[in-house]
Structure 1
Amino acid sequence: MNAEEMSEFRRFFAAMRPERRVQLDRIGTPNNEAAVPFMYALSAFHKDFVGLKQYVRGFTDELDTDLRAVVIVIALAHLFAGTSIHSSVFAQHLRIPPTAPARLAARFGDKVHGLLLEERPGYWRTTHSLVAKQILLELLTPKEGSGTADPESWRFALPDWAETLIGFVSDAATGELPIDSDELLQQLFIKREVRHDGDKTKYSELIATIPSEARERVFQRLTAEFPEEAHFWAHYSRWQSFEARDHFAARQSMDKALQRDNSDPTLWHMRGTNVRRELYGFLDAHRFQATTPEDRADAQTVVERLAKEAIGDYNEARRIDDRSEYPLISTAELCLRVIEWGKTVYTASSYTQFLNRPSSQFFAELLDIAEDSADAIIELEGDDKESRAVAQVRSRLKGIYDDYNGMIQGWRNILDKSSGSKTAIRVRLAHLYGLRNGGWDTATKADISAAMTLLNESLLDNPTDPRTVRAWLSAGRHSGVSLNRAAEVVSHWVEYINSRDALYYDYVLSALSALNGALSSSEDLSRKVTLMRSRSQDFEQKRTIFDWVGKHEGLGQLINKAQVIEWDRSIAGSDPSALRRLQGRVNTISNPKSGTILLANDVEVFFTPSAAGMLAGQDNNVAVTALVGFSYDGLIAWGVERKA
């Protein structure tokens, strides 16, 4: 079709379906081979177009056996992977010599013009996803037998054709799997759709469409043809665990995946989820059957082993990549599920009664892990709204604390009688003192003092314990802790582990000391900020302000973002009463979106000149005031105003 004819068809069908104008305008760009009258009708009426079946049948009835196979595989790739497929994949099937190019256009002739499209040299797809679906319906639905065929019967041929596609790709791969072929197989068999609620579907669309009883042989063929592909083994393992419930086989397949790549956090997370699924099956099977003390003890032994194994796998996934909340959510959910199971099996009337038992130490440790996971998620969320899964975890966690006073008394008794390490119990108790007040900023002086006593005792035993230091810094903001003491505590922590939050507090305390007149080195602060930025360069929330400079003294001048959560930063002059304005001078204005301000002791702070109405070459060295926040990317000035 020429340009004038295409324009006329667009006008004609757009008049009938104006809401489809965008789709109609796309026809013929960038490839005019798709510009046939049929495509205008299909784009206009979409699934309501009644001529689709007859149109496709007019092509498929003329195809020989070899070309039918090619068309089916191209349709599979387009419908289920949304992509084209290279003609070299069909070379062996079409008996084309290895040294000769696989020119499908010459092989097809005019037989598929309007059905298939060479969108770029050598890459073929169908002209429309609805055409791809209709091709499969026409060519895979059984033609023999009496009566009307089941409209879903075409699905029963999918396993065979999935294997055929795998075979074609394998035949064409002379060595390492080409990138485009690997992406095709990943899209077809591995990658799962992310739904609107953030959850993923169980399987890829193709695997989900294949009848469940035939899925295993597709995974078997995939791993047999490409035994070095770790993710193929991992997803075969996932199927064995999730659908076949063959946990032994699932472990074997996952071991093969990790033997090929043990540095992929996704594989470790999948392994942990397989073990968690095995654990959940055991919990369900032994919820009411374990009736004697011996049965309960035996069941708990298995539960402890599986829970620790799964948590270990999730921890490994997080060690490799600590930017994802999925291992944290999975860990917290597992811990809560096991605690809930324990309360039921041991017939406790409340969680307080259950967790206060000296023999429930394992379950109390799981509560600690769940709390730590929930706290770590806060860092990953930044200013984003919490997900549904995170909200559910926090709601379930809150439900565990059915009697704060009773829990505190019970764990106090356990602490007094304990002869081993007391760190975990002390941190747990300190956390409870904050929880029963609704947070440290509303806690009583007595509870803050009790918590700090416990945490200081833990620091004496182990000054590098991350859980103790984090809890100490949270409670310490409300107990008059000096900046020097806080810096001392953090210095031990940051030497022990270079976690994001350790490096964050290290630079924040140096900055606060400088802002309060300490004779600290600007070079030392700059070095710490650089370390922080390097550690957080791929962190999505690195620009989130987690804390602000407040009006109190010592560590108390560090105001957490949760304390000013109601503040609408878009409203000028709406400074929260807890925050303190600092004085400084504009140092640099690189462009409208990037500048720096120098505060006391040459502490450098980023600001956005355009938001403050300031221009390069005009407002350098202007005296200003600003609220100052701390992010993983350094200090940020907010609400910058010219000093009156």
Structure 2
Amino acid sequence: MTPDELHVLLRRAEGECHDYKTKLHDTSTLKGKADLVIDVISMANTPREEDAHIVFGVKDQGNGQFDLLGVGSVPDDADWQQLLASAIEPTPRFNLEPVQLGGTLYAVLTIPPDRRGPFHVRREWRNKLNEHLGPATLVHGVTYYRRGSSNAVATGETLRWIVQWMNGGTPEPLRGGDAPLEDSWERFLERVQRFSDARRFILVAPRIDASGLATLRGLAAPPWSAVLDLDPLSEQGGLMGELEKEMSLVRSLYRVLPSDETMALGGRNASQWIFAKGLATGSEPPTPLTFRKWSARYGRDLSRHLAQLAASLHPAPVTCLILGYDTSEIQVLHSLLSDLAGSSGEALDVVIATDEAAAYEQVAGPFEADVIPITLQQLCSGLARLEPETSASDGPQRTLPSVSGAPVALDAADAPWIEEELEVLYLDPPSEESDDDRRGFLQGSEISWYALSRRADVDRSKTASLHAKVARELDRGGRPVRVNLYHPSGAGGTTVARRVLWDLHHLYPCVVLLGNPSAQHVANKWAEDNAERIMRLGHVTQRRVLVLAESSRVPERLMSDLYDSLQNRQASAVVLQVLRRVASVIDDQRVVQLPGFLLDQEADRFLEEYTQARPDRSIELGKVRRSGNQRARVPFHFGLAAYGRDFLGLDRYVMTRLDGLESAHREVLQHIALAHHYGQKGMPAQLFAEMLQVPATRPVSLGSLLPDQVLDLLVQEEPGVWRMAHALFAEEVLSQLLGAGLQTRSNWRAGIADAAISFAWLCHGGAGVVGDTELDLIERIFIYRDSRELMGTEQAASRSFSQLIEDISLPNSAVRLLEQLTLLFPSESHLHAHLARYQAVRMHDLARAKSSIDRALELSNSDSVVYHMKGMIHRQEVYDLMSRKTALGPVVRSAEVASEAFSTCRELRRDNEHGYISEVQMLLRLAEYARQQGDGNNRLAFTYTGEYLVDTALERSEDLLAQVAQLRTAEQPSKFAVRCRAQLDELYGNHEEAVQRYRSLLGRADVDSPSVRRSLVWVYLKKAAGQWHGLKPKDMRTIEALLRENLREQAGDDRTMRLWIRAARHVPNPPSVDELIGQFSTWHLDNPSLESSYYLYVLHVLKYFESSSPVARGEAERYMEECRRRAQYRTDRTRSFEWLGSGVGISGLVHQSRLGEWDSNRDFFKHAALLSRVEGRVGQYVGPTKGWIDVNGLPIFYVPGRPGHQRHSAHHRVTCVVGFSYEGLRAWEVRDL
């Protein structure tokens, strides 16, 4: 056997004709002889058409991974021939030979197909053996064979099958009704690969009566990613009713109905329980549906859910187990499998367990399913005896530090849900590691908590500074804050951040965001769910929570959404963000910049530590310390010099490991290096299945498929996910592979476009099945810059693109790459939008950019980012027209299209300021351009052009900036908002002159008077520094008159109503609540929106508090529910924008802007004295993060953990202040009476 042939063998999993042994049989002992004899007999008797092999020196870990150990020496083939000839009759043909592969020696036993059997142990040899080992070791006359990956005794149908093959029959394995029942359980375990953690599992179950099965709970043991339940009454005596409690101890269980818009995200240890036939509302079973009616009612929605499920699981192999115990569901099963197969591609493996095998052959055939004949009772009984997943009640106590200093235990019921998306640092000691594990960190692996506990890292100069800043924010308490650690790739930012987390986790609850590729579809949901998890930890411990968010795991867009959700909930948390930046930033109160290289003192410490550990490598370590190349003076380089085999410099180290590699291995390495260098991400080994000739249904074990020298360059960051050991390796590998053949290797980036297209093809997959993991890789590499998505922000207009796109020197090559991406992933709207952005910004081809962005909108007409990009492209056209001194009319036409796109962007995502700021920037430039077109010395404010967008530009800008200010309540305005405000103020000029000139426009019939009146309001407000309560009574009466005139002319105008609700409470004679309800009802009829719903519910609550009218309460609840529905996807839906004050009617409404900054000492706003305290009783206590206070019959949400309430606090009298959020009424500063 050649080394290449052995290399192919090592890609195979164990089975009927393939086996791995860690060691050679010790034939000096009787036990060793007996083991060899039974292994050879079993292989020889198994029907097959190919050679069977036993490879010695390989350990099968059972999860698709192999340890290549090798053997010290190989026995003489003649010795084994003599032994087996004396023990087996007839003597089987075989040969034993040594094979060298990658410097390691293996022994391979080859047994060709031989029909001279069946083969049995000789009686005399067996008798001699059994005198010493007992009579049951080997039995004369018994036929042994291979069943799956084990040796077994053949009886019944199996024995007849073997004899038939020996006589010239077919070697096809027995399946379905012909398969022997006595083999069923072992065959089942082989087919599901013993529920290996390298696979994902889906259960499809018909209606099952749990009352007749005592062992049904065995179905809770496997790690189901999803359950497709065909029983509408499953909760009531069915499968869910029986399994829910036990499964919930180890997994987050989510109910999914076909009509649900989306499924839960499904993070680590989550199970989606999909009711494929809906859920019954009562205890009576629903009317049975024909297949056609079921398909019409549920088919389309289920297809959508199954596609989403498959995308979240891909590229891992998926095993779908069908419980075939109800033949009436066969058509439904066929439909579900068709959807799964279409979404999962070749990665789907189907197993049918049934006691009516013949009935399921028609389902098995098209999907190449294996039918296992086994009763449900026996299947469940066997599953119940499998080693269960560790539950939250097992093992460590999951304790956390509390405010008193006493450790508190996390509720076992909460643990799976919290750990689904967060890695929690418990007070329990971390799992110990071997020396090899600890050395892995020094060679590039992520540092473990155990290594940190043993101080395996070396202190960096910035660690103390970061620790101090984080600890200060934790001690302060109050609203959430961010501390940012910026670092270049490979500088060790993750290690520094984790050191700080470890050192603080004894005092504060600390967590790490795990990241979830599927979060890109439902970013707000991901943010809100994780904010709830963090709040739960905070309330359990009564301490501020430290959250580590690494941009290599979580894109910055999701980080921002999470921070907004924490802000809106007033959650007490510090978010330590680790962000990759190429450009340096300056340290400040909440910012630390880690240098890209070791400072002299740091390098000295590393030299000292590593020299103590490896004195034999002191010369190599000294060379790293004295290196004049700062980029090479990084922590990893010291580890490489200390522990790298044959290390004589980075380039030579990499070169020697690339020399002689076969093309497939070089391609694997190139893709992993590209993902690391440009995306800071590892790659799932499963993506290389086709490239490495591994079946898609089998896990890919790179550790056994790649030569040892290649593995020196890689680390497995989590099971099945590989990356380069360091960013230096990633760049060096790309340099050597792409620069091969070039005159100057430093020009390797010339080949990056073709390499990127090859990478995109790999992610696309041969079958065209693309998962969330692959799409996350594509976005990080081709769209994100430093883990940030520029689209949807003001930076979309900049010339910056992802680093990979920047490295492509020829714009046409970059366009070719981006166009190829849209062809490979035609349904991904952001790729079309990204192409449009490049065409507009870099190519200045606005015609094609418009076409590309329109295609993106066809694919996703509800994506605010895509609409924002459309606005930016048309805004670019506006600026181009201005630069060419085009007449005002064409400029305005383009600006109108941009404005409409920005408006739609805001409607879809009102809580993101970019849709506001981008339009304000355009409006101000448009206004300035119009002024220059006319009288260059005249202020725009007094220029009438007849173009509505121009003439209302300042007033519209004021309205948009006011909405931005509301978004950032109690926060500092962004630099973009500050800049826009300054430009706007400059355009106004002198206040008195502005008032007079605007008033002069009111008498003209050709002017939009309502807009002029609103402009006058803004001018008066500017005079009072933007503070309504600072206006003089005279000016306030003028404002009232102006706005009332507008209400008479345009009762449903949005901008007027937003001004009126702010002004009405400050006028000398405020309108009554009833009058305002009438005005806002008219607005709502003309323009039903979130804002109109919000203020109608606020006004009806005010009326109810004054009158106790049941009609007012009913209207308040109706509009509150409508408002809640409209705001369901907003991250600010729990933020209170209005508060209940001490005045009467509308005067009793206090806007959030008046409450001032957050007072960390009081843990509430600075000017809380403006608010009125109301009395109520604690109604319902749900948990420490959710409860209700009854105030005059209205339920008001509150967080019981803040005032220290528990279940016994029900019906206690309390006082509180009341805020009005989109979600409903919220109680703050709750105090017991």
Q: Do both proteins adopt the same fold according to a TM-score greater than 0.5, normalized to the shorter chain? A: yes
Unaligned runs of 5+ in 1: 27-36, 287-297
C-alpha distance in structure 1 between counterparts of 2:675 and 2:699, whole Å: 21
**Which SS does the other structure have where 2:767 is aligned?**
coil
C-alpha distance in structure 2 between counterparts of 1:98 and 1:6, whole Å: 30
Is 2:1225 the partner of 1:635?
yes
- Structure-2 residue corresponding to 1:318: 906
Q: Residue 971 of structure 2 contacts residue 1157 of structure 2 at CA under 8 Å; is this kept in 1? A: no
C-alpha distance in structure 2 between counterparts of 1:184 and 1:8, whole Å: 29
Residues 374-406 of structure 1: per-residue CA shift (max 9 Å, x gap): 122233324443222222222222222212322
- Structure-1 residue corresponding to 2:710: 112
1:477, distance to aligned residue in structure 2 (A): 1.0
Q: Residue 356 of structure 1 contacts residue 407 of structure 1 at CA under 8 Å; is this kept in 2? A: no
C-alpha distance in structure 2 between counterparts of 1:598 and 1:441, whole Å: 32
Q: Compute the TM-score of the two structures, normalised by the length of structure 2.
A: 0.46
- Structure-1 residue corresponding to 2:917: 329
Answer 1 or 2: which has greater helix percent. 1
Q: Which of 850, 870, 892 is equivalent to 1:271? A: 870
Residues 230-267 of structure 1: per-residue CA shift (max 9 Å, x gap): 33222112111100111122122223333333332222
C-alpha distance in structure 1 between counterparts of 2:722 and 2:805, whole Å: 22
Q: Which of 498, 502, 518 is equivalent to 2:1088? A: 498
Letter aligned with residue 157 of structure 1: G
TM-aligned CA distance change 1:489 to 1:120, over 3 Å: same
- Structure-1 residue corresponding to 2:1030: 442
Q: Which moved more, 1:54-63 or 1:583-592?
A: 583-592
1:127, distance to aligned residue in structure 2 (A): 3.0
**Which SS does the other structure have where 1:417 is aligned?**
coil
Q: Residue 382 of structure 1 contacts residue 544 of structure 1 at CA under 8 Å; is this kept in 2? A: no
1:96, distance to aligned residue in structure 2 (A): 7.6
1:23-422 equivalences in 2 (<5 Å):
23=495, 45-46=635-636, 51-86=649-684, 108-117=706-715, 123-142=721-740, 145=743, 149=744, 151=746, 153-170=747-764, 172-193=765-786, 202-213=800-811, 214-286=813-885, 299-351=887-939, 355-357=942-944, 359=946, 362-418=949-1005, 422=1009
Residues 536-564 of structure 1: per-residue CA shift (max 9 Å, x gap): 22222222222222233331221112222
1:204, distance to aligned residue in structure 2 (A): 1.8
Answer 1 or 2: which has greater strand percent. 2
1:587, distance to aligned residue in structure 2 (A): 3.5
Letter aligned with residue 901 of structure 2: D
Q: Residue 1081 of structure 2 contacts residue 1096 of structure 2 at CA under 8 Å; is this kept in 1? A: yes
**Which SS does the other structure have where 1:630 is aligned?**
strand
C-alpha distance in structure 2 between counterparts of 1:382 and 1:25, whole Å: 30
Q: Residue 483 of structure 1 contacts residue 513 of structure 1 at CA under 8 Å; is this kept in 2? A: yes
1:56, distance to aligned residue in structure 2 (A): 1.3
Letter aligned with residue 309 of structure 1: V
Q: Residue 207 of structure 1 contacts residue 215 of structure 1 at CA under 8 Å; is this kept in 2? A: yes
Q: Which of 605, 614, 625 is equivalent to 2:1215? A: 625
Q: Residue 434 of structure 1 contacts residue 448 of structure 1 at CA under 8 Å; is this kept in 2? A: no
Is 2:1107 the partner of 1:517?
yes
Residues 295-322 of structure 1: per-residue CA shift (max 9 Å, x gap): xxx6101210111111111122223333
Unaligned runs of 5+ in 2: 1-68, 70-432, 443-450, 461-491, 499-613, 625-631, 642-648
TM-aligned CA distance change 1:384 to 1:5, over 3 Å: same
- Structure-1 residue corresponding to 2:1020: 433
Q: Residue 1134 of structure 2 contacts residue 1222 of structure 2 at CA under 8 Å; is this kept in 1? A: yes
- Percent of paired sites with the same residue: 27
Letter aligned with residue 630 of structure 1: F
- Structure-2 residue corresponding to 1:295: none
TM-aligned CA distance change 1:590 to 1:73, over 3 Å: closer
Q: Residue 234 of structure 1 contacts residue 253 of structure 1 at CA under 8 Å; is this kept in 2? A: yes
Is 2:1039 the partner of 1:457?
no
**Which SS does the other structure have where 2:973 is aligned?**
coil
C-alpha distance in structure 2 between counterparts of 1:610 and 1:362, whole Å: 51
Letter aligned with residue 1218 of structure 2: V
Largest Rg, 1 or 2? 2
Is 2:1171 the partner of 1:583?
no
Letter aligned with residue 1216 of structure 2: A
Q: Residue 381 of structure 1 contacts residue 541 of structure 1 at CA under 8 Å; is this kept in 2? A: no
C-alpha distance in structure 2 between counterparts of 1:100 and 1:580, whole Å: 66
Q: Residue 1065 of structure 2 contacts residue 1147 of structure 2 at CA under 8 Å; is this kept in 1? A: yes
TM-aligned CA distance change 1:630 to 1:221, over 3 Å: closer
TM-aligned CA distance change 1:260 to 1:629, over 3 Å: closer
Q: Residue 1218 of structure 2 contacts residue 1228 of structure 2 at CA under 8 Å; is this kept in 1? A: yes
Q: Which moved more, 1:606-615 or 1:448-457?
A: 606-615
TM-aligned CA distance change 1:360 to 1:565, over 3 Å: same
Q: Residue 794 of structure 2 contacts residue 918 of structure 2 at CA under 8 Å; is this kept in 1? A: no
Q: Residue 332 of structure 1 contacts residue 393 of structure 1 at CA under 8 Å; is this kept in 2? A: yes
C-alpha distance in structure 1 between counterparts of 2:1163 and 2:852, whole Å: 59
Letter aligned with residue 204 of structure 1: S
**Which SS does the other structure have where 1:639 is aligned?**
strand
C-alpha distance in structure 2 between counterparts of 1:486 and 1:415, whole Å: 26
TM-aligned CA distance change 1:517 to 1:621, over 3 Å: farther
C-alpha distance in structure 2 between counterparts of 1:279 and 1:21, whole Å: 42
Residues 52-83 of structure 1: per-residue CA shift (max 9 Å, x gap): 33321220123234432332122112222233
Q: Which moved more, 1:407-416 or 1:44-53?
A: 44-53
Residues 164-199 of structure 1: per-residue CA shift (max 9 Å, x gap): 2234445x3323434433332222212333569997
Residues 414-434 of structure 1: per-residue CA shift (max 9 Å, x gap): 221225753322322233333
**Which SS does the other structure have where 2:801 is aligned?**
coil
- Structure-1 residue corresponding to 2:1197: 606
C-alpha distance in structure 1 between counterparts of 2:1212 and 2:1053, whole Å: 44
TM-aligned CA distance change 1:489 to 1:132, over 3 Å: same
**Which SS does the other structure have where 1:541 is aligned?**
coil
- Structure-1 residue corresponding to 2:1134: 543
Q: CA RMSD in A?
A: 3.8
Residues 319-353 of structure 1: per-residue CA shift (max 9 Å, x gap): 3333322211111111111112222333433525x
Q: Which moved more, 1:503-512 or 1:340-349?
A: 340-349
C-alpha distance in structure 2 between counterparts of 1:4 and 1:91, whole Å: 32
Residues 146-165 of structure 1: per-residue CA shift (max 9 Å, x gap): xxx474x2222212211222
Residues 454-509 of structure 1: per-residue CA shift (max 9 Å, x gap): 22222222322222211111111111222121121112222333322212211111
- Structure-2 residue corresponding to 1:34: none
**Which SS does the other structure have where 1:516 is aligned?**
helix
TM-aligned CA distance change 1:194 to 1:188, over 3 Å: closer
1:451-490 equivalences in 2 (<5 Å):
451-479=1039-1067, 480-490=1070-1080
Q: Residue 911 of structure 2 contacts residue 1132 of structure 2 at CA under 8 Å; is this kept in 1? A: no
